[in-house]
């Protein structure tokens, strides 16, 4: 018989012996190991033959360890438990050093990616995997956390990242920027976001909040807010802008406010945690992120 390193019998025999000794039953050990009782009996018999000693006393309704079996079981049980604890720590370390976060394209490009870059200056050893989705993330969340704009607090554990205001934005070169009244704006080159299953505020919602009930022009329709922002930067029309979210574009002069009209966004941007997320580094990142815009 081929001997393993350290002079040990087959690890399969050792594992079978530990299960049988712990459960005091070949049948229960077989159920746990997903094999037949006969297979368990065969492994135990082979181990006894290799050691040339009895390890179990076979009785009518149970099996009990012999004195020699008890000595071996104590060592095997202790060793496997120690190995198990080490493997658990390694798995937890691997899991907690990887954080996954999801957001829309616009949130990632305009706000989140900059925050993650800042975070890495302090915590470069923590890996953050980012997933972009311009439709609502499915529940239950498969990611550790997401950034979500919502008019109602999410069902999961969540914290408000920031609130925002909504205003018309356009390029400095936009030919129709000399607008002062809502009626004029309603007839301008409005860029509409028609992304399905989103709860982002629309032009119709915005005008309604300002008590304007006239017709609203539809010059461009897109299904992605990042594309809408790019069209506006290219001078193709007016986009409904989240002032805080698109702050980099406003500060750089790529987009400018078109009118004096501005409303508080009916929703808020939330950091939503997946249920049961207790990763050490998720907590570090979420607490850090929540402090950034305070």
d(CA 226, CA 191): 12
Whether residue 231 is found in the same domain as residue 175: yes
| 269: exposed, middle or buried (Cβ count in 10 Å: 0-12, 13-18, 19+) | buried
Whether residue 23 is found in the same domain as residue 85: yes
CB atoms within 10 A of CB 150: 16
Q: Which of 95, 113, 138 is the last residue of a domain?
A: 95
d(CA 288, CA 22): 46
Which range marks the domain in which residue 104 is found?
98-290
Q: Which of 76, 67, 84 is nearest to 11 (CA)?
A: 76
H or E, element range at 287: helix 280-290
Q: Which of 67, 95, 123 is the last residue of a domain?
A: 95
pLDDT in tens for each of the 294 residues of the chain? 445 667 788 889 999 999 999 999 998 999 889 999 899 999 999 999 999 999 999 887 778 999 999 999 999 999 998 888 887 777 666 555 688 999 998 899 999 999 999 999 998 888 899 999 888 888 888 899 999 998 888 888 899 999 999 999 999 998 777 788 999 999 999 999 886 656 778 899 999 999 998 899 888 888 888 899 999 999 999 999 999 999 999 999 999 999 899 999 988 999 999 887 778 888 899 999 999 875
Q: How many domains, the chain?
A: 2
Q: Which of 95, 129, 156 is the last residue of a domain?
A: 95
The dihedrals phi and psi of 293, each to the nearest 5 degrees, come to: -110, 20
The dihedrals phi and psi of 200, each to the nearest 5 degrees, come to: -70, 145
CATH of the domain at 240: 3.40.190.290
Whether this prediction's pTM lies above 0.75 is answered by: no
d(CA 238, CA 225): 12
């Amino acid at each position: 018989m081929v001997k393993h390193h350290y002079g040990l019998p087959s690890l399969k025999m050792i594992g079978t012996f530990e299960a049988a000794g712990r459960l005091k039953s070949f049948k229960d050990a077989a159920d746990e190991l997903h094999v037949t009782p006969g297979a368990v009996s065969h492994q135990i018999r082979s181990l006894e033959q290799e050691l040339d000693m009895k390890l179990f006393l076979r009785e009518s309704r149970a099996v009990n360890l012999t004195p020699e079996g008890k000595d071996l079981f104590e060592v095997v049980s202790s060793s496997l438990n120690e190995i198990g604890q080490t493997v658990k720590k390694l798995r937890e370390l691997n899991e907690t050093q990887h954080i996954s976060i999801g957001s829309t394209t616009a949130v990632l490009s305009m706000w989140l990616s900059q925050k993650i870059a800042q975070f890495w200056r302090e915590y470069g050893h923590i890996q953050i995997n980012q997933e972009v989705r311009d439709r609502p993330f499915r529940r239950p969340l498969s990611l550790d956390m997401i950034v979500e704009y919502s008019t109602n607090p999410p069902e999961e554990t969540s914290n408000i990242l920031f609130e925002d205001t909504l205003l018309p934005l356009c390029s400095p070169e936009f030919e129709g920027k000399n607008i002062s009244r809502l009626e004029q704006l309603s007839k301008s080159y409005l860029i509409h976001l028609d992304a399905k299953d989103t709860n982002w505020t629309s032009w119709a919602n915005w005008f309604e909040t300002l008590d304007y009930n006239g017709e609203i022009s539809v010059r461009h329709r897109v299904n992605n807010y990042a594309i809408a922002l790019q069209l506006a930067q290219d001078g193709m029309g007016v986009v409904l802008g989240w002032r805080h979210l698109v702050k980099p574009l406003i500060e750089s002069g790529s987009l400018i406010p078109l009118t004096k009209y501005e409303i508080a966004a009916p929703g808020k941007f939330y950091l939503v945690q997946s249920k049961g997320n207790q990763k050490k580094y998720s907590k570090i990142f979420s607490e850090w992120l929540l402090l950034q815009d305070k």
